[in-house]
Amino acid sequence: MGLRGRLRERGGMTNPASFHHATCGLCGRRADGIGFSPGGRPPAVWVCNDCGLARARTATRMRDFDAVERRAFALAARRAGQFLDTIGKTDLAVLTTEEYESFLRAFQTHFVEEIRRLVEGEATP
């Protein structure tokens, strides 16, 4: 059973909780030792400096973090597609190594930006 399944068994919610302190529970990049636990109890959501404590706090209150993740994925996929449009190649097989890495980087960069933006948008005053 994956992490999400274990989380559902525990609480029935799809929080971005991460049991591993090395991985940011929001963007999936390297965490920086910042963790947030609702009510001060584990499991903590570990995040990177760029996602930050405020977003971690917001994310743990979300009803369905998975839906936010899927939305960020879709937006990032669109941006990666736009990168292909700019170089005029849609067949991945004809990309150079540099173009392929730029395509993947476009996806990753936009995924990270979108997930942070979407979580921020969920913040309650």
- In the complex, the residues that contact Zn ion under the rule CB under 5 A are 24, 26-27, 48, 51
**How many angstroms separate the CA atoms of 105 and 76, rounded?**
10
Helix/strand number for the chain, H first, E second: 4, 2
Alpha-carbon distance values, 55 to 6, 45, 78, 86, 117 (Å): 22, 10, 24, 33, 9
- Of the pair 7, 24, the CB lying nearest Zn ion is at 24
Q: Of 84 and 108, which has the nearer Cβ to Zn ion?
A: 108
Nearer to Zn ion, 80 or 115 (CB): 115
Between 51 and 72, name the residue whose CB sits nearer to Zn ion: 51
Q: In whole angstroms, how close is the CB of 87 to Zn ion at the nearest point?
A: 28
Minimum distance from residue 29 beta carbon to Zn ion (Å): 5
d(CA 43, CA 3): 12
Residues 6+ apart with CB under 8 A from 83: 102, 103, 106
Shortest reach from residue 112's CB to Zn ion, in Å: 7
Quote the least distance from Cβ 65 to Zn ion, whole Å.
13
